[in-house]
Chain A
Amino acid sequence: MNPLDILYGAGGAWLAAAVTGLLAGSWRPGVRACCGLSALAGGAAVAGGGWSLVYGNTRVAAPGPATIVGGPLELQMTSLAGVFVAVLGIVAVAIALYVPRYHQPSRGTGVYLAACNLAVLACLAVLTAGGMVTFLVAWETMSLACYLVILRHPRSDQTARGAFWFLALSEIGFLLVVAAFVILAAKTGATELSVMAARGHLVPGGWRAAAFLLALTGFGFKAGLVPLHVWLPEAHPVAPADGSAFLSGVVVKLGVYGIALFAFRLVPVDGSWPGLVTMFAGAVTAAIGILYALAERDIKRFLAFSTIENTGIIVTAFGAAMVFRSYHQLALSAFLLIAGLYHVANHGCYKSLLFLEAGVVEHATGTRDMDRLGGLVHRLPRSTVITFIGTLGIAALPPLNGFVSEWLIFQGLFQGFRTGSHLTAILIVLAAATLGLTGGLAIYAFVRGFGIPYLGMPRTRQAAAARETSQPVAGPALLAVACAALAVGAPVMLGALSRTARTVTGTSLGPLLLPGKLTVIPAHTDFSAFSPTYLAVFLAAACAVPFLIYVAGRPRAASVSVPVWDGGIVSFRPRMQYSAMTFSAPTRVTFDALYRPSVSVRRASDDDPAGRSGPVHYEAQVTPVFERYLYRPVIRAVEWLADAVRPLQSGDVNLYLLYLFGVILLAYLLGAV
């Protein structure tokens, strides 16, 4: 019995769930049955993924149904994929618990449920793919299924636009990934991934570089590396909440998995520049991601940019691991790989949680705009607590899991001096500094992302009308528990991941990672040490002490309840609070070279400059730099090219016969030669 068997069961259950969902349509018990199957499958996936972390790679299974394209499915469960499968599982369980209460059954429900489960199944297939063709077929299936998921509510042009961006960039990335795989397959003469990995040394240096760069770019489209990230802020807001959670929690991770696959398994080490390029890409992505997040009012766009930021952090960790490996610092390389994988698990949990809660907010108030919300802490108390746990995690505040994984990544990066090369050490320190900037901005962004919608007074009637009843709680709550468990149980998790690292990189960290039961050290005993468990316990105790002092020393005199001191103003209006955009205004001023903000002010008439003659219209825009300066020119070039080639399609039959003749002649000549 090996983990792959469990995952067979999970895959089967998801297939069954897809069929059930399609048949059930909007029939409520059917929907529940479908979600139940999906939850079971998710649980199995968690078990399988977790087990495979410690099991090592399984042999390639020669399994069942031959596909139409390219022969039998080849599946293999690797330790590297273990974390990703576990994240897939737990996100799937959470979504399965969430869907029945969130979705109003309507016409498209059946297709949607089928597409959802199919997407999850396809992701599982990507992660367990043992051969190139299986991988690519599963990848494409996943893209198409996700496209259907995003198109759940074809209400407006926005939805079509978002889904289109997703699909278009997915396909471009897919082409590049195909190219990378084809290069490797051609040079190593095999299509099984394990054989490709074993024969990696046969690939000449230039082709290795090409394959890696193609893979980095191709998977970067899916993972969301800047400037390939443009689909994320377009697709996430228009997809339903569980769809967004799935996209950010799992699909983006598949891009990261692809990069890790090529970096650590398929393409052998060849100098430090691939690692440096990856690290640089990751650091820039992280910084730009969080900077754009600070300019967003829509909660889901904000979270989408935050996903981009976290992808950047993970890719930076992987890149640094590659750099260290090229300088033979194998322990540090394994350590950073572990830290990156741990961050994958953490991000999967808290980002999915935040997206599901964003869906709850949208469901309860009808809006995603932060500037129309406020005061939800009184109206949606349970959701607020759960969101708070997710926010603490993603802002990397102790004692939660985000803090642990980011601390580990920083500790790895700070040891850049061990490479021995000054230039590399400086570049690694620059990456660490960029991540530091990102961390600070992330706290700022999430204080805004949590404080503006949840705290204070409601800014609109819709926000004031939110109610907690009938909001989905079980799914997000499960993820919150997972976040806390990952934090407190960090040593256990890291121990499991170190066994993964041994399988992937061949380096055993053991006492260099966990010298005691609960302490973590970054691969060298003379650098630093940290115990997440003790930290969590200590913080809990530290919070308890003031409380105990209060209870013991509370004055016995009668206390008077008086209103909050507000400076003596006559009445406090919601409009007097911070708005989302004013809260982040300092960032927009400091980084205006990136944002290039444009402000337009229109007055009803110019008679009175103070605007008393009528309403004043103020509009501030952040320039979408990548869309305007990168994608628009490319799109226009493609359109121009298409226009230029159009005369070929003249509709004239004689011309088409001439084409046929020309091509046959060419084929004959080439064949003869």
Chain B
Amino acid sequence: MNPGPNETEAAAGQLREMIAAQFGRSLHIRTLDTGSCAVCEQEIRLLSAPHYDLHRLGFFFTPAPRHADLLLVTGPMVRAFGVAARKTYEAMPGPKVVVATGACALGGVYPQDPFVHGNVGEVLPVDVWIPGCPPSPLALLHGLGVAVGRLAERTPGLTFIAGEGGAA
């Protein structure tokens, strides 16, 4: 429930444009598991399967942070992993995007305690948040599209009130 650090609209907008120009059709994603139950990873893995086929969108997975444009983080950011997460982020060359996905990473499962930050935003500057437990591959595709500026965000317009526009 903490607001992410990237709130200023102007800077975000500029970054959006640059990212859309560079990554819109070709993106290398590095996944980072900071202590999740691995179900988010299973959903992420499904993205490479023939049904969802990430490659048709020009998105690829890479293990090397040096080659990555986007860091896809799952898990509640266990404290023991903080150094490694920070190092992975710093090893990525700019411009880079950080996407936190899964209820754990959004701070919705574990409270902050001596073992866990609870929220990826405590350690890394997150650009896009994808909720779900686990987020379905479709939700992930939408989130990645939002991250590179190909798709529009819908959440600000949703009210979660039945019958109103934007909700079922």
Contact = CB atoms under 8 A, between A and B. Distances in A.
| Direct contact between A and B judged by beta carbons closer than 8 A | yes
Interface of A: 560, 562-563, 565-570
Contacts of A569: 84
A570 B84 CA distance: 7
Given A560-B94, A563-B87, 19 more contacts: A562-B90, A562-B91, A563-B90, A563-B91, A565-B64, A565-B65, A565-B66, A565-B87, A565-B91, A566-B87, A567-B84, A568-B83, A568-B84, A568-B85, A568-B87, A568-B88, A569-B84, A570-B83, A570-B84
A659 B64 CA distance: 87
A566 B90 CA distance: 12
A264 to B, nearest CB: 58
21 contacts: A560-B94, A562-B90, A562-B91, A563-B87, A563-B90, A563-B91, A565-B64, A565-B65, A565-B66, A565-B87, A565-B91, A566-B87, A567-B84, A568-B83, A568-B84, A568-B85, A568-B87, A568-B88, A569-B84, A570-B83, A570-B84
B126 to A, nearest CB: 18
Contacts of B83: 568, 570
A563 B86 CA distance: 12
Contacts of A566: 87
User: Chain B interface secondary structure, helix, strand, loop or mixed?
Assistant: helix
Nearest to B65: A565
A560 B90 CA distance: 10
Nearest to B32: A568
A568 B66 CA distance: 12
Interface residues of B, number: 11
Interface in B89-109: 90-91, 94
A567 B84 CA distance: 8
* 9 nearest A-B pairs in the assembled complex, by CB-CB distance: A568-B84, A565-B91, A568-B87, A570-B83, A568-B88, A562-B90, A565-B66, A565-B65, A562-B91
A562 B91 CA distance: 7
A370 to B, nearest CB: 30
A371 B15 CA distance: 50
Contacts of B64: 565
A570 B87 CA distance: 9
Contacts of A565: 64-66, 87, 91
A560 B84 CA distance: 19
Nearest to B66: A565
Contacts of A562: 90-91
A559 B65 CA distance: 17
A567 B30 CA distance: 13
Nearest to B80: A570
Nearest to A562: B90
Contacts of B65: 565
A47 B90 CA distance: 60
Residue among B85, B87, B90, B94 with the highest chain A CB neighbour number at 10 A: B87
Nearest to A557: B94
A566 B64 CA distance: 10
A568 B90 CA distance: 10
A560 B91 CA distance: 10
A29 to B, nearest CB: 58
Interface string B33-77: 000000000000000000000000000000011100000000000
A569 B91 CA distance: 13
Nearest to A566: B87
B45 to A, nearest CB: 21
A569 B88 CA distance: 10
A570 B85 CA distance: 10
A175 B38 CA distance: 76
Nearest to B64: A565
Contacts of B66: 565
Contacts of B87: 563, 565-566, 568
A502 to B, nearest CB: 59
A567 B32 CA distance: 12
A648 to B, nearest CB: 79
A567 B90 CA distance: 12
A58 to B, nearest CB: 66
A570 B81 CA distance: 9
Nearest to A569: B84
A566 B84 CA distance: 10
A562 B89 CA distance: 11
A30 B88 CA distance: 62
Contacts of B84: 567-570
Contacts of B94: 560
A267 B149 CA distance: 86
A568 B83 CA distance: 7
Contacts of A570: 83-84
A560 B87 CA distance: 14
B48 to A, nearest CB: 23
Contacts of A568: 83-85, 87-88
A567 B81 CA distance: 12
A17 to B, nearest CB: 58
A560 B66 CA distance: 13
Nearest to A559: B93
A566 B85 CA distance: 12
Nearest to B91: A565
Residue among B66, B88, B91, B94 with the highest chain A CB neighbour number at 10 A: B91
A365 to B, nearest CB: 32
Nearest to A567: B84
Nearest to A565: B91
Interface in B129-155: none
A563 B88 CA distance: 11
Contacts of A567: 84
Nearest to B90: A562
A570 B64 CA distance: 17
A568 B89 CA distance: 10
A326 B83 CA distance: 72
Contacts of B90: 562-563
B61 to A, nearest CB: 17
A554 to B, nearest CB: 15
Nearest to A564: B91
B72 to A, nearest CB: 15
B108 to A, nearest CB: 25
A617 to B, nearest CB: 32
A569 B94 CA distance: 22
Contacts of A560: 94
B125 to A, nearest CB: 16
